[in-house]
Amino acid sequence: MTVRLKLSVQYDGTAYYGWQIQEGLPSVQGHLAHALQQIVQHEVKITGAGRTDRGVHAWGQVCHVDVEKVLKPITYVDGMNRFLPHDIRVTHAEIVDETFHARFSATARHYVFRLWNGRQLRPDLLGHVGHVIGKLDFETMKAAVDMMPLGVSDFSGYRDADCQSKVTLCNLHYLRLVNVGQDEWQLEIAANHFLHHMVRNIMGTLIEIGQGKRPVTGLVDALNAGDRAMAGMTFDADGLYLTRVDYA
């Protein structure tokens, strides 16, 4: 008997070359598969809701996998965590219908980009926030964010050159810049799907607006142009977190 498991996963992406298995390199997907195989005693293929890049973290990644050994859901959770490194945790498991697909059944993905704007970075935040030393104009950055249209737009201008997605239309649910501390801000974004490096490219463009290198219309200008050359730098992955995935 084969059943489909839906797993909720958290991880610190610092030590990994992204979600996806790459030969000879540590990956989140690879560690999860290895841990589960110790329990079910057969090869498994784990499919994630999003293929996070090298160094990207997750508070709410979701994946599915088909297994031939039927156990109580908590047994999968506890068993996998015994075999996983401490920077990857399975937080929940449930048996779902075989039509469920972690990637294609998702209706929205939520990301947070943590940004630290201070001369000195707190040591415990190293690798876990994006860091800009020079003072940023956050009022202008917030105004730029507020200009971005919600709903369906073509985000070709924010895709990486190696992006393999055939669909460049994304339904933007929200985009906001929030102050969460004296030196820390968060860019919060949700859409039905994301292009490769899309959030990091939006963040890089926004940083350049805050530095006065681009006008307040810079985010919208790059969106409307549909040209990657019109957007800003690809910002470091350190501060990026996949926080939640929604399903109907």
Q: 66-75 pLDDT, tens per residue?
A: 999 999 999 9
User: pTM, whole model, 2 decimals?
Assistant: 0.95
Going from the N-terminus, what domains does the chain have, and what CATH number goes with each?
A: 3-96 (3.30.70.580), 107-247 (3.30.70.660)
Parts of the chain with a pLDDT under 50 = none
Helix H or strand E segment including 75? helix 73-83
Output the pLDDT for position 164: 80
pLDDT for the residue numbered 165? 86
117 vs 190: CA distance, rounded Å: 23
d(CA 211, CA 140): 10
Partners of 240 in the beta sheet?
113
The pLDDT of residue 162 is 82
Q: Is 5 helix (H, G, I), strand (E, B) or coil?
A: strand
pLDDT computed for residue 25 by the predictor: 96
User: Which tokens go with 185?
Assistant: 């801000």
SS3 at position 81: helix
**Could you give the CA distance from residue 93 to residue 73 in angstroms, rounded to a whole number?**
5
Amino acid at 153: S
What is the set of active-site residues?
53
Report the pLDDT value the prediction gives residue 161, as an integer from 0 to 100: 83
The runs of H, that is alpha helices, within 97-195 are: 138-147
pLDDT score at 3: 97
Query: Can you read off the two tokens belonging to residue 30?
Result: 């690879």
